[in-house]
Structure 1
Amino acid sequence: MLTTSFCRREVRVLSYVVIAFSLFAVIHVSLLKIENLQVVERLEERTEEPKQVSEREEDRREGFSTVKNEPAEFSSSAPQTEKISLEGEAGKTTARKRKKDKKDECKNMDGNLSGHFFQDEVVKFNWTEARSQGQREVFEQRSKVLLDGCAKMDSGKGVLNPPLDPIYQSNLWLKDHGLIYCPINKVGSTTWITNLLKMAGEDTRHGRGRVRKIYSAPLGLRQRKSFMKKAMRMIIVRNPLDRLLSAFRDKMLHIICKENQFMVMQKMISTKYSDPDTPTDPAGRPSFRQFLMFIREEMEKFWASKGQHEVNNHWKPFWWYCAPCHFEYNAVAHMETLSEDQEYIIRETKLYGKLNNTRTHSSKNDHFTSTREATKWYFGQIPRSLLEEIIRLYQPDFDLFGYSPEDHLALSNAQLN
């Protein structure tokens, strides 16, 4: 009897224990599922990003085709993903508020998030020896214009005497290919720097600092001079006024979500300079007229100080940036004919197959998809007197590289003060 009773009690206790553990397991699994769902919901809320579309100019040229690569984000000022705590209701509320604030900060006039993207095109040519000879003659003529311009200039004004050491260091020396290249901001330099980093097997995000270390100048002055005599010396230029407009569209119209020098500059220019003919921008960005007024003041200080006043690299004059009368560049490429010019340079320096002939189309942060239409509209808002002053301040760049300001002057508005 005792044995039977004892066994029954043991069975009941064991049953209760099993039931208790089962209930505990069910409750535990349910809680884990709820927690996982909450985490997923919060992650989805943080990782939602609006679609952004970069505009692309359509190039129509004879004799070559282009292959478009996928666009990639290319801006150090783009919003960065923030790490947040997913614990508790307070963290969720904070995350939502940060997300909303970031969207509000980055909205442009149309209410869309502004991004900064680039899009590469690989250019394919049906290249012939006749075409190569024609390009060689083009470069010879441009070199002659450069040398004649240098001979006519008065070095007493400081035009021919920029400091050479920084230029030796900033130039890229491709010692294995007999090429020296002076990379100028807003004149195709992004394309070349990206391609040279790829050729070296480097991360393209490293930029100018890394590419200068890889393609650095020979240490000795004698070695530099010796290499310069036999090397192809390349510079890429464009009409100085087109370069200023490109810098404006890139650096002044871009909605910047992280404070940097260009955000500060935008606010300063829009506040300091008056443009009664253009409505105030709600995001605090300056008009093109205000930007040129800023450029005029900067360049006047630059000339008065004989180059001691530091001018931003995106609008620093070509002659100061690259010392063309010292280096005597024999491969003067123009942005207006860059694809043909690059093809010749790549082939002549045995870089064909190692370096793609590409062009980079960057978002311009306005409504224009055609550079021609943008040029017509923006310069139509500029008083002729202001544009004439800008031309005077950049005159050496026009003279050395054979550019004319007449088309842009014809677009300017003589009725504006």
Structure 2
Amino acid sequence: MSQKKREERIHETQELRKQLLRETCAGDKETFKHHLEDVRDKELENLIVDDKHGIIYCYIPKAKLKHYTKFLYVRDPFVRLISAYRNKFRQHNEYFYQQYGRHILRLYANQPDPPQSVDEANASGMRVSFQNFIQYLLDPLTERKEPFEPHWRQMHRLCQPCLIKYDFVGHQETLQQDASQLLKILMLQDDIQFPPSYENMTTPAFLLDWFSAVPLEDRRKLYELYEEDFRMFGYKRPRELLDG
């Protein structure tokens, strides 16, 4: 494929992704917020502004938006949850153990008095399982107590794509080609070299392996919880996990 054809295809992909966002937002106005006044400041706190280059990467101040190039990167919602679990609960992370792990062990792992530290928990072989993590997400009390932690908060809630007209929507599954196109849009292709991406591991077998211990009913509830992310960002419903 020629370079020109490749660039045309990347451009067409971007237009389709942005069109999907617009159509999803317009078609479900009851679900998605459409006015900045309706958004709490806490829902915007993780977004990043680069004044020097005029870039917003999912940090949205309440003014000056039209002067910035606005972009975001998304990921298959279920793979994102697996990544969050592995990073926060399978690795040595004292903060997440204290803030979330001990609570999850008490409520969903039948451990009324979990170890006081992550080192003690690891030494005793007591860890939050992936199924425990899913149970925590599905519990209505979790969201009622406070908004989801950003690592597992829905992407449309993190980035408010129905409020912000993003100029670029990247997918982690096509990271390399998307990054190249983004740097051209930002006119930074001569200043930044993007590192090579790792092989995509989002295969049906990969997902099935992780969700094998999660009951079918819980998988379906989890999909409902993240369904808007699947729809809005163009990810297919994972039938192999949900159709029994």
Matched to 1:139, the amino acid is Q
Q: Distance in 2 between matches of 1:321 and 1:133?
A: 30
1:173-192 equivalences in 2 (<5 Å): 173-182=49-58
Aligned to 1:297: 139
State the SS of the aligned residue for 1:270.
helix
Q: Distance in 2 between matches of 1:318 and 1:269?
A: 23
1:19-58 equivalences in 2 (<5 Å): none
Matched to 1:326, the amino acid is L
Deviation at 1:377, TM superposition (A): 1.0
Q: Distance in 2 between matches of 1:159 and 1:404?
A: 23
* Alignment check: 8 A CA contact 1:379 1:408 kept: no
Deviation at 1:149, TM superposition (A): 0.4
1:356-402: CA deviation from partner (whole Å, max 9, x where unpaired) = 212677xxxxxxx9564542311122111001111111222122111
1:1-400 equivalences in 2 (<5 Å): 128-155=3-30, 157=31, 159-160=33-34, 163=39, 165=41, 170-182=46-58, 221=63, 224-228=64-68, 231=69, 233-256=70-93, 259-274=94-109, 282-297=124-139, 301-302=142-143, 309-358=146-195, 372=203, 374-400=206-232
Tell which deviates more after alignment, 246-255 or 400-409.
Answer: 400-409
Matched to 1:129, the amino acid is K
Q: Distance in 2 between matches of 1:291 and 1:169?
A: 24
* Alignment check: 8 A CA contact 2:10 2:178 kept: yes
Do the aligned partners of residues 375 and 406 (structure 1) sit closer, same or farther apart at CA in structure 2, a change above 3 Å counting? closer
Do the aligned partners of residues 328 and 243 (structure 1) sit closer, same or farther apart at CA in structure 2, a change above 3 Å counting? same
Deviation at 1:179, TM superposition (A): 2.8
Deviation at 1:271, TM superposition (A): 3.1
Deviation at 1:339, TM superposition (A): 1.1
1:13-46: CA deviation from partner (whole Å, max 9, x where unpaired) = xxxxxxxxxxxxxxxxxxxxxxxxxxxxxxxxxx
Do the aligned partners of residues 167 and 246 (structure 1) sit closer, same or farther apart at CA in structure 2, a change above 3 Å counting? same
Matched to 1:286, the amino acid is V
Matched to 1:270, the amino acid is L
TM-score (norm 1): 0.49
TM-score (norm 2): 0.79
* Alignment check: 8 A CA contact 1:238 1:334 kept: yes
Q: Distance in 2 between matches of 1:264 and 1:358?
A: 33
* Alignment check: 8 A CA contact 1:177 1:351 kept: no
* Alignment check: 8 A CA contact 1:267 1:284 kept: no
Runs of 4+ in structure 1 deviating by more than 6 angstroms, as ranges, are none
Deviation at 1:128, TM superposition (A): 2.8
Do the aligned partners of residues 160 and 388 (structure 1) sit closer, same or farther apart at CA in structure 2, a change above 3 Å counting? farther
State the SS of the aligned residue for 2:72.
strand
* Alignment check: 8 A CA contact 1:236 1:332 kept: yes
* Alignment check: 8 A CA contact 2:46 2:158 kept: no
State the SS of the aligned residue for 1:358.
coil
Task: Tell me: higher relative CO, structure 1 or 2? Use CA pairs within 8 A at least 6 residues apart.
Answer: 2
Do the aligned partners of residues 285 and 168 (structure 1) sit closer, same or farther apart at CA in structure 2, a change above 3 Å counting? closer
* Alignment check: 8 A CA contact 2:88 2:96 kept: no
The CA RMSD over aligned residues, in Å, is: 3.2
Structure 1 residue aligned with 2:234, among 399, 402, 416? 402
Q: Distance in 2 between matches of 1:146 and 1:158?
A: 11
Aligned to 2:117: none
State the SS of the aligned residue for 1:381.
coil
Do the aligned partners of residues 135 and 353 (structure 1) sit closer, same or farther apart at CA in structure 2, a change above 3 Å counting? same
Q: Give the greater-gyration-radius structure (CA).
A: 1
Deviation at 1:301, TM superposition (A): 4.8
Q: Distance in 1 between matches of 2:75 and 2:127?
A: 25
Gaps of 5+ in 2: 111-120
Deviation at 1:225, TM superposition (A): 3.6
Matched to 1:352, the amino acid is Q
Deviation at 1:182, TM superposition (A): 1.3
